């Protein structure tokens, strides 16, 4: 039934006239269809997923060919995703399908992942929203993970165009109610699927025990206590059910302002100094109330300024640091560099690449975050001071900086489980408003600020600069950033633990993967990809000697002295923040751009070599151990890890596009001027095979 | 573990040799009194490290700063180099030039003397020094930095002296002839016949061997330039089509700029040929036979000929020089660019832009060469700069063989050294105005490829760094002459041990050379065996090595008669040409100096709408497996930090070690252990201990 067929293109077929729209007439499609082996492409629906609308004979343009070619197929919209059916998936090698994403196919876009939709009317591109009077001949979808899709609707039936376009616009652009999130349909449909991975030890921080464990781990339990005063969210909806405060703090203080204005413990340093955060008290006009606030704060400060507490340095993040507005503006400029409609556009920006990049100031924002985190680290580490982060709600830059400081100072946070626990502790329990910041409900564009992505980008800089210090790789971070828009995990779809509690528990829903959610790693790719996500080398690096207990009194000295010493990958880790050192997270931002593909290149090229060597090391190690214990327990051969003779591309494991045959790199305008094709064909006949002369 | 992490090219801890009597004995108290005798001792001691003919001009004790660890030692200025000799470090007789502590005088790009906190004085040759320096900073033109703090306590005059000596010596060193009379001790030691590690292509045997290796059956070695009377900038031998007579070659070459006619650069196993030649000498008036000879040499038996206008879309020599100067200024530690403006400052140098255009053009040409049988001719007016760059890059992209250590060195020897790239002029050693580091631009392009294809190259970044740094080291003739003729003529004067080419140019029997000429490829002159081991890329995947790469020998399509299709490749597009040579019938074209057709006016907009595809009769032939197509988008072209930011140790520090080498160490350690316990080991033990000498001198 599907109008499917590969059109245009190959060297042998008649060269098409260059034009912006498809030159193919439906008759031609028909002839091609006969040649293609008919293969039913079925729509895979998740439990609870419903088909909403569909349209057939939609042309999906192949981006790399300057919109000249495409594949015909069916475009469908469900309550979970927009999907294009038509790609012949059997064409992929086994090696590639092995690394296919389990949930999201190459041509799937989750509704939450849609960023902007454009329509092309008479070769003019306009953003689409609301009710349409006229329907476009072409639909362009920009995704939040920076994919760009072009769908031609010229040969689609008019009613189908109307249905699919308005369907897509409605389901992606219109404001939505929380309870209409796909999350809930999925959760109720897939309830029995709550298998938990026993190996996953991510601490969820949803019990008092978890907080006590963390206090013990960081030896913060001397001066800080875990409290359950907010159990059942009786005190405040912005607070988690359990959290940690300074031991002498009376519980009624917590109740005073619904948890505002009290120092909440984030983490304790090895020297006993702690990182604390505090949300600001409500702004009051009334003098009397202000007086109350003032005396309340005085009381609080008295508590934490007294021994045994160290001197407190207050970092007010709302007044003299980045604003959310800055971040939003920078990112929206930055992402435009990667949302490419066609190749020409890309080449045009290419020459000015660095200045365009710089003018977005996204990298500078990353630098400022890293710098602030180093400053905080310096206070904690070198000056033995407590640091109190102050922010309006303590749930944006507070989360970012406190988790960044912990990644830098606490090697536990650089393991995969530790990092997931950190995200759980600082971001989920810290009440970062994922729902608003990701604009999942499409209620306010103003609230949409990629704070979490900024954090991941900062961590990426660290991973990139010090790969052996981390248990995970950049691929892990990329996958994590993608799961922000995947509404089968509950992790990133609520504004606070309270909101999640009332929506999940009161409706008696339990989500699959609830216990392992912050990273979808295990469930997301098939097992084999594990090696790409786990840093193979992170643990192997032997400990170096470090003696960094010197007291320095300012940032520069601290920074320079750290960098002049050999790096202890199991200790304090500082990033470089000089101009040339802050880089573009190429894997995340460039992975869908065909021109950026390096066939047989990139990091993946050395991966198989690395795995082979690791295998061999392990094998030999076993042999030696055997010899040591002189007992010949035969060990099973380690399974081959990544055995693939194929040359993988640098975009692996994300985009699967590869130039299997000769993709001409050469724009050859001149050919057509050479005369008609018959002539060339004749000439070919004249070729005489003289063999080797 | 810390490859180059300390701002050095390599990270091998300075050898902690037992303290020797010369330097460690006297203590500061005795210093003034013992100065005389100490200086004597020191002189004789230092002289041990000197090359014959090298003289110590001045020295002063000091501490090397900026790099970890701080090293006490001596700063010495000779008529060849400035060297910092750490205390207790003994110059090995094996490596008379140190890659780490030596700064050859010509390499000094800037000199700063520091006294007090803020007094920095830029020392230009001839500028007076008004104070006694406490510290001296030497900025190398190869982006290295040497920072030495002088010792206080009565030795200030020495600090002053050594600084002035450097200034004077630097001023006098611009003449390359300065080094005449200095010879490398290594050469004296070598006894018996010694084959150069890389074929130097000075004998016809070398050319013949190379021709056979490439399988260029329809080509032969022509000795027509044996006396350098066709062109002094050409090698004595080169490859011409088999059917062309030497007399025809001689006449045809006369119609090219500086006598540089079309020669084979590389024969693709699929059947295509890559040729290079200079611009047509338009003032000449060739007769019909000459034109026919030129055409048949350009056509080289193929029906399709693609002429590539080399300089088109590439920077000019002045552009390259300017970009390199700007890049050097930007990479200085005190560069004024603010951190948040660094990227646009980098863009402003345009260096990366030039790297990009080179890669882009090379990538296009390699598709042309590998996709079907044809003759691709690189044409540049001088044929000595970008032709070499493009032809080497194309070979690196298309031939896995060229990506091995030996293959790459042979490639540089053939396409740059033998082909007459004017190294001396381009690297500014002569002080002439035509300085333009085209070769360094090439090395940057290769580094980009190395970054993009980490498993495809047998050599490592450190090898490229070594080559980069060697460009200005005056120890061998490789980079110290402009033409093969000068190299041949002066090799005798430069190094008395080497063979002198006298009139008659009699062919020296191969294998009988008692003292072969040293070349830059004799790495053990400057690098220790540990360093040479690092030239190997541990991530090199042997699956891609030439043995497993079986070229599909395509049938040769030969057409008799005149070329049936001739195209000009320019501005990323092919345009048909009516004729190969500019002289034939249209005199109006003669006016156009080296370009014989107006450029096609293609704007970038119209390019977008073009159909991408090769002509149908060239066919959609799958790209050969060994072909690399590099990325050349803005985000993919990167700064070679280990090279250019060496002078900024704060940037260098903490560059993480390539972890694959750590694993390799572990692997060999485990194998060693196992070998000790078991007399015989499983056959799949494939990490034989590598002997540094075999790396560079693998049998041909």
Total count of domains within chain B: 2
Residue A619's pLDDT band, with cuts at 50, 70 and 90, is confident
Kindly list the residues from chain A whose CB atom is less than 8 angstroms away from the CB atom of residue B629: 598-599, 665
Of the candidates A495, B87, A180, the one whose C-alpha atom is nearest the C-alpha of residue A172 is A180
Which helix (H) or strand (E) segment holds residue B27: the answer is none
Domain hosting B134: range is 47-175
pLDDT at position B95: 65
Q: Is A691 on the interface with B (CB under 8 A)?
A: yes
Those of residues 435-454 in B touching chain A at CB distance below 8 A are: 452-454
The reply to whether B452 falls in a domain is: yes
What's the whole-number mean pLDDT along residues B36-65? 67
Q: Looking at the structure, tell me whether residues B347 and B451 fall in a common domain.
A: yes
- Rounded CA gap, A336 and B263, in Å? 48
Provide the shortest C-alpha distance from residue B596 to chain A (in Å). 17
**Beta-carbon pairs below 8 A across chains A and B:** 291
Choose the closest CB to A620 out of B609, B631, B671.
Answer: B671
* Within-domain flag for B653: no
- Scanning B65-174, the segments in alpha helix (DSSP H) are 156-172
Q: Which pLDDT band holds residue A401 (cuts at 50, 70, 90)?
A: very high
Task: Provide the pLDDT confidence category of residue B49 given band limits of 50, 70 and 90.
Answer: low
Residues of B with CB below 8 A from A599's CB? 629
Residues in chain B with CB shorter than 8 Å from the CB of A661 are: 620, 622-623
Least confident range of A567-576, B77-86, B533-542, B642-651: B642-651
How far does B343 lie from chain A, in Å, by closest CA?
A: 6
Q: Which residue in chain A has the smallest CA separation from B66?
A: A564
Taking a C-beta distance cutoff of 8 angstroms, is the pair B253, B229 a contact?
Answer: no
Quote the pLDDT of residue A107: 85
DSSP state of A428: I
* CB interface of A with B, residues 357-416, below 8 Å: 357-358, 361, 363-364, 367
Inform me whether the C-beta atom of residue B619 falls under 8 Å from chain A C-beta atoms: yes
Answer yes or no: is pLDDT of B339 > 70. yes
- Selected residue with higher pLDDT from A96 and A320: A320
Which of A65, A596, A672 is the closest to B631 by Cβ? A596
Query: Which residues of chain A make contact with B371, given a CB cutoff of 8 A?
Result: 662
B352 — pLDDT class (breaks 50, 70, 90)? very high
In a domain, B230, yes or no: yes
At residue B558 the predicted structure's pLDDT band, cuts being 50, 70 and 90, is very low
Is any Cβ of chain B less than 8 angstroms from the Cβ of A353? yes
Percent of chain A with pLDDT over 70: 73
pLDDT at A18 over 60: no
Out of A96-105, B33-42, B135-144, B645-654, the most confident range is B135-144
DSSP 8-state assignment for residue A289: H
pLDDT of A535 reads 52
On whether both B165 and B234 belong to a single domain, the answer is no
Chain A contact set for B454 (CB, 8 A): 601-603, 605-606
Minimal CA separation from A162 to chain B, in Å: 30
Distance from CA of A436 to the nearest CA of B (A): 30
Q: Is B69 on the interface with A (CB under 8 A)?
A: no
B247 shares contact with chain A (CB less than 8 Å): no
pLDDT at B537 over 80: yes
Write out chain A residues lying below 8 Å of B452, CB-based: 598, 601-602, 650
Question: B568 and B447 in one domain?
Answer: yes
Q: Which of B121, B154, B175 is the last residue of a domain?
A: B175
Residue A520: which pLDDT band, with cuts at 50, 70 and 90? very low
Q: Extract the tokens encoding A64.
A: 């790399």
The two counts, helices (H) then strands (E), for chain A are: 24, 16
Residues above pLDDT 70, as percent of chain B = 65
Reported as a pLDDT band with limits 50, 70 and 90, residue B447 is: very high
Region B350-362: what's the mean pLDDT? 93
> Rounded distance, CA A194 to CA B482, Å?
75
Q: What is the model's pLDDT at position A682?
A: 40
pLDDT at B393 over 50: yes
Q: What token pair was written down for B200? A: 């130097």
Q: Are residues B409 and B289 in the same domain?
A: yes
**Structural domain includes residue B479:** no
Interface-testing mutation among B351, B570, B577, B617, with chain A (most A C-beta atoms within 10 A): B617
Query: Which of A147-151, A325-329, B656-660 is the most confident on average?
Result: A325-329
Per-residue pLDDT band for A507 (boundaries 50, 70, 90) equals low
Are residues B211 and B250 both part of a single domain?
A: yes
Q: Whose CA is closest to B403, among A657, A605, A597, A652? A: A605
In chain B, the residue whose alpha carbon lies closest to the alpha carbon of A601 is B453
In terms of domains, do B387 and B288 share one? yes
Residue B634 lies in a domain: no
Mean per-residue pLDDT for A24-44?
48
If you average pLDDT over each of A520-529, A613-622, B420-429, which comes out highest? B420-429
> What's the confidence (pLDDT) of residue B224?
93
Mean pLDDT of A102-128: 88
Indicate if B211 and B84 belong to the same structural domain: no
Taking CB atoms and an 8 Å limit, are B656 and A467 in contact across chains?
yes
- Residue to mutate among A65, A338, A354, with most B CBs inside 10 A, is A354
Tell if the CB–CB gap between B344 and A355 is shorter than 8 Å. Answer: yes
Calculated CA dihedral for residues B644, B648, B649, B654, nearest 10 degrees = -60
For residues B566-583, average pLDDT: 76
Q: Are A242 and A227 in contact (CB under 8 A)?
A: yes
Long-range contacts, B671-674 (Cβ 8 Å, 24+): B671/A620, B673/A624, B674/A620, B674/A623, B674/A624
Residue A124's DSSP bridge partners are A121
B620 near A CB under 8 A: yes
Which three-class secondary structure state does DSSP give residue A412?
Answer: helix
Nearest to B654 among A567, A680, A688 (CB): A567
- Please state, as a whole number, how many other Cβ atoms lie within 10 Å of the Cβ of residue B202: 25
Nearest residue of B to residue A623 by CA position? B674
CA nearest B260: which of B382, B375, B377? B382
Residue B218 shares a structural domain with residue B168: no
- Of A404 and B148, the structure prediction assigns the larger pLDDT to A404
Please indicate, yes or no, whether residues B239 and B358 belong to a single structural domain of this protein. yes
Whether residue B145 contacts residue B138, with contact meaning beta carbons closer than 8 Å, is answered with: yes
- A556 or B209, higher pLDDT: B209
Rounded to whole angstroms, the Cα distance separating B481 from B233 reads 10
B610, A353: Cβ pair inside 8 Å?
A: no
**B270 & B125 share domain:** no
More confident residue, A457 or B280: A457
Q: Which helix (H) or strand (E) holds B668?
A: helix B659-677
Give me the residue label for tokens 């990273």: A519
Instruction: Show which of residues 543-582 on chain A sit within 8 Å of chain B, judged by CB atoms.
Output: 560, 563-567, 576-581
Q: What is the mean pLDDT of chain A?
A: 77
Cis peptide before A496 (omega within 30 of 0): no
In this structure, the answer to whether residues B325 and B240 fall within a common structural domain is yes
Of residues A364, A601, A664, nearest to B613 (C-beta): A664
Q: What is the pLDDT of residue A371?
A: 93
Query: Does B394 reside within a domain?
Result: yes
Check residue A109 and report its DSSP letter: E
**Distance (Å, rounded) from C-alpha A680 to C-alpha B23?**
80
Residues 519-548 of A with CB under 8 A from B: 537, 540-541
User: Is the separation of the CB atoms in A16 and A68 below 8 Å?
Assistant: yes
Question: What's the confidence (pLDDT) of residue B97?
Answer: 67
Which range (A134-138, B313-317, B502-506) has the least confidence? B502-506
pLDDT at B108: 83
B236 is a domain residue: yes
Chain A nearest-CA residue for B641 = A580
With contacts defined as CB-CB under 8 Å, which chain A residues touch B666?
Answer: 540, 617
- Residue of A581, A590, A659 with shortest CB distance to B651: A581
Does A681 lie at the interface with B, CB-CB under 8 angstroms?
Answer: yes
Q: What is the pLDDT of residue B690?
A: 46
Cα–Cα distance between A66 and A20 in angstroms, integer? 8
**Is the pLDDT score of A86 beyond 60?**
yes
pLDDT band of residue A522 (cuts 50, 70, 90) is very low
pLDDT one-digit tens code per residue, A584-595:
998 899 888 877
Of the residues B542, B576, B610, the one at which a domain ends: B576
Residue whose C-alpha is closest to residue B103's, from B48, B162, B158, B155: B162
On whether any CB of chain A is under 8 Å from the CB of B680, the answer is no
Determine, for residues A18 and B645 on separate chains, whether the beta-carbon distance falls below 8 Å. no
Distance from A541 to chain B by nearest Cα, in Å? 8
The Cα of A19 is separated from the nearest Cα of chain B by a number of Å equal to: 6
Is B342 within 8 Å of A467 when comparing Cβ atoms? no
**pLDDT tens string B592-645:** 333 333 333 333 322 322 333 344 344 444 567 778 888 888 888 889 988 888
CATH number at residue B71: 2.30.29.30
Asked whether residue B125 falls in the same domain as residue B244, the answer is no
Most confident of the following: A113-117, B491-495, B671-675: A113-117
Q: Is B379 a domain residue?
A: yes
More confident residue, B611 or B490: B490
The strand pair at A264-268 and A243-246 is best described as unpaired
Interface predicted TM-score of the whole assembly (ipTM), two decimals: 0.76
């Amino acid at each position: 039934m599907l109008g499917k067929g590969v059109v245009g293109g190959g060297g042998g077929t008649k060269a098409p006239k260059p034009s912006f729209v498809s030159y193919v007439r439906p008759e031609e499609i028909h002839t091609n269809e006969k040649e293609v082996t008919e293969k039913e492409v079925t729509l895979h629906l998740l439990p609870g997923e419903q088909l909403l609308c569909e349209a057939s004979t939609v042309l999906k343009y192949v981006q790399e060919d300057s919109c000249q070619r495409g594949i015909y197929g069916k475009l469908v919209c469900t309550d979970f995703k927009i999907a294009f059916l038509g790609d012949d998936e059997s064409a992929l090698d086994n090696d590639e399908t092995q690394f296919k994403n389990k949930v999201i196919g190459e041509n799937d876009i989750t509704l939450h992942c849609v960023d902007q939709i454009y329509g092309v009317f008479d070769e003019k591109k306009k953003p689409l929203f609301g009710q349409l009077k006229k329907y476009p001949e072409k639909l362009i979808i920009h995704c939040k993970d920076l994919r760009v899709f072009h769908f031609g609707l010229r040969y689609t039936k008019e009613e189908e165009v109307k249905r699919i376009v308005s369907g897509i616009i409605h389901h992606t652009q219109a404001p939505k109610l929380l309870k209409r999130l796909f999350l809930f349909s999925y959760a109720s449909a897939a309830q029995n699927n709550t298998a938990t991975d026993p190996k996953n030890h991510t601490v969820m921080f949803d019990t008092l025990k978890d907080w006590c464990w963390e206090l013990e781990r960081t030896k913060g339990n001397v001066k800080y206590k875990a409290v359950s005063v907010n159990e059942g969210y009786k005190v405040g909806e912005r607070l988690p059910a359990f959290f940690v405060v300074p031991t002498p703090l009376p519980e009624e203080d917590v109740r005073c302002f619904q948890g505002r204005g009290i120092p909440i413990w984030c983490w304790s340093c090895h020297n006993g100094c702690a990182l604390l955060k505090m949300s600001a008290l409500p702004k009051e006009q009334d003098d009397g109330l202000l007086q109350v606030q003032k005396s309340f704060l005085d009381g609080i400060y008295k508590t934490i300024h007294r021994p045994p507490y160290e001197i407190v340095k207050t970092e007010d993040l709302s007044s003299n640091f980045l604003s959310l507005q800055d971040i939003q503006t920078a990112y929206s400029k930055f992402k435009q560099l990667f949302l490419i409609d066609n190749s020409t556009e890309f080449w045009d920006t290419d020459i000015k690449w660095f200045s365009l990049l710089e003018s977005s100031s996204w990298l500078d924002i990353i630098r400022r975050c890293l710098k602030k985190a180093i400053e905080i680290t310096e206070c904690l580490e070198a000056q033995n001071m407590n640091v109190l982060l102050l922010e309006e709600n303590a749930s944006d830059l507070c989360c970012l900086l406190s988790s960044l400081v912990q990644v830098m100072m606490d090697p536990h946070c650089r393991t995969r489980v530790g990092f997931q626990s950190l995200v759980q502790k600082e971001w989920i329990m810290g009440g970062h408003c994922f729902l608003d910041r990701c604009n999942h409900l499409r209620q306010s564009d103003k609230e949409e600020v990629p704070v979490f992505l900024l954090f991941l980008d900062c961590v990426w800089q660290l991973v990139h600069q010090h790969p052996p210090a981390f248990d995970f790789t950049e691929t892990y971070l990329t996958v994590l950033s993608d799961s922000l828009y995947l509404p089968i995990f509950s992790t990133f779809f609520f504004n606070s633990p309270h909101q999640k509690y009332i929506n999940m528990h009161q409706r008696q829903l339990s989500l699959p993967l609830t216990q392992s959610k912050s990273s979808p790693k295990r469930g997301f790719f098939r097992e084999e990809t594990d090696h790409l996500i786990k840093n193979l080398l992170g643990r192997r690096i032997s400990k170096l000697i470090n003696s960094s207990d010197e007291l320095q009194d300012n940032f520069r000295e601290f920074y320079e002295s750290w960098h002049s010493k050999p790096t202890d990958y199991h200790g304090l880790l500082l990033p470089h923040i000089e101009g040339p050192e802050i880089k573009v997270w190429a894997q995340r931002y460039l992975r869908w751009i065909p021109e950026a593909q390096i066939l047989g290149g990139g990091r993946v090229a050395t991966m198989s070599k690395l795995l082979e060597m690791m295998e061999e090391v392990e094998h030999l190690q076993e042999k030696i151990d055997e010899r040591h214990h002189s007992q010949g327990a035969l060990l099973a051969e380690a399974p081959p890890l990544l055995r693939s003779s194929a040359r993988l591309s640098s975009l692996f494991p994300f985009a699967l596009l590869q130039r299997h045959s000769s993709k001409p790199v050469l724009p050859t305008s001149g050919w057509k001027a050479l005369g008609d094709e018959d002539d060339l064909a004749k000439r070919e006949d004249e070729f005489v095979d003289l063999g080797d002369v | 573990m810390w490859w180059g992490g300390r701002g050095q090219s390599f990270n091998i801890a300075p050898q902690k040799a037992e303290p020797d009597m010369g330097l460690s004995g006297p203590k500061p108290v005795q210093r003034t009194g013992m100065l005389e005798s100490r200086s004597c001792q020191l002189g004789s001691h230092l002289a041990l490290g000197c090359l014959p003919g090298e003289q110590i001009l001045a020295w002063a004790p000091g501490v090397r700063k900026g790099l970890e660890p701080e090293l006490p030692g001596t700063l010495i200025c000779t008529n060849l180099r400035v060297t910092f000799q750490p205390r207790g470090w003994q110059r090995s007789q094996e490596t008379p030039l140190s890659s780490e502590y030596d700064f050859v005088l010509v390499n000094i790009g800037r000199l700063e003397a520091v006294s007090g906190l803020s007094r920095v004085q830029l020392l230009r040759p001839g500028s007076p020094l008004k104070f006694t320096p406490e510290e001296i900073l030497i900025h190398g033109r190869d982006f290295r930095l040497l920072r030495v703090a002088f010792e206080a306590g009565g030795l200030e005059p020495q600090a002053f002296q050594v600084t002035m000596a450097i200034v004077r010596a630097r001023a006098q060193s611009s003449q390359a002839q300065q080094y005449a009379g200095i010879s490398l001790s290594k050469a004296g030691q070598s006894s018996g016949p010694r084959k150069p590690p890389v074929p130097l292509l000075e004998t016809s045997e070398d050319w013949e061997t190379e021709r056979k290796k490439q399988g260029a059956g329809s080509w032969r070695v022509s000795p027509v330039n044996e006396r350098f009377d066709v062109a002094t900038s050409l090698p004595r031998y080169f490859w011409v089509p088999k059917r062309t007579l030497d007399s025809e070659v001689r006449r045809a070459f006369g119609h090219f700029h500086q006598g540089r006619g079309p020669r084979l650069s590389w024969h693709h196993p699929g059947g295509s040929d890559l040729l290079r030649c200079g611009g047509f000498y338009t003032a000449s008036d060739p007769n019909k036979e000459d034109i026919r000879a030129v055409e048949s040499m350009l056509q080289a038996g193929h029906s399709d000929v693609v002429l590539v206008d080399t300089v088109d879309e590439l920077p000019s020599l002045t552009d390259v020089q300017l970009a390199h100067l700007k890049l050097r200024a930007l990479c200085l530690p005190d560069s004024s660019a603010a951190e948040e403006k660094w990227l646009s400052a980098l863009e402003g140098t345009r260096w990366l832009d030039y790297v990009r255009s080179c890669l882009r053009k090379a990538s296009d040409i390699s598709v042309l060469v590998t996709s079907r049988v044809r003759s691709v001719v690189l044409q540049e007016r001088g044929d000595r700069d970008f032709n070499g760059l493009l032809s080497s890059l194309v070979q690196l992209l298309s031939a896995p063989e060229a990506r091995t250590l030996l293959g790459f060195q042979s490639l540089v020897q053939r396409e740059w050294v033998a082909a007459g790239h004017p190294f001396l002029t381009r690297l500014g050693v002569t002080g002439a105005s035509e300085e333009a580091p085209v070769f360094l631009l090439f090395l940057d392009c290769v580094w980009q490829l190395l970054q993009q294809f980490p498993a495809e190259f047998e050599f490592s970044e450190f090898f490229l760094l070594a080559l980069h740094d060697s460009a200005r080291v005056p120890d061998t003739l490789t980079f110290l002459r402009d033409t093969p003729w000068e190299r041949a003529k002066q090799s005798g004067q430069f190094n008395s041990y080497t063979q002198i080419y006298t009139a008659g140019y009699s062919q020296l029997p191969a294998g009988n050379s008692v003292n072969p000429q040293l070349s830059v490829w004799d790495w053990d002159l400057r690098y220790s065996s540990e360093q040479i081991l690092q030239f190997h890329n541990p991530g090199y995947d042997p699956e891609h090595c030439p043995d497993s790469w079986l070229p599909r020998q395509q049938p040769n399509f030969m057409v008799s008669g005149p070329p049936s299709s001739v195209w000009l490749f320019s501005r990323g597009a092919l345009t048909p040409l009516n004729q190969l040579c500019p002289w034939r019938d249209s005199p109006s074209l003669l006016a156009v100096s080296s370009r014989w057709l107006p450029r096609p006016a293609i704007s970038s907009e119209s390019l977008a709408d073009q159909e991408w595809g090769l002509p149908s009769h060239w066919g959609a032939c799958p790209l050969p497996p060994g072909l690399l197509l590099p990325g050349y988008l803005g985000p993919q072209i990167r700064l070679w930090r280990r090279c250019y930011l060496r002078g900024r140790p704060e940037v260098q520090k903490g560059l993480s070690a390539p972890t694959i080498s750590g694993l390799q160490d572990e692997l060999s350690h485990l194998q060693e252990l196992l070998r000790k316990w078991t007399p015989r080991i499983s056959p799949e033990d494939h990490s034989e201990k590598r002997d540094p000498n075999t790396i560079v001198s693998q049998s041909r």
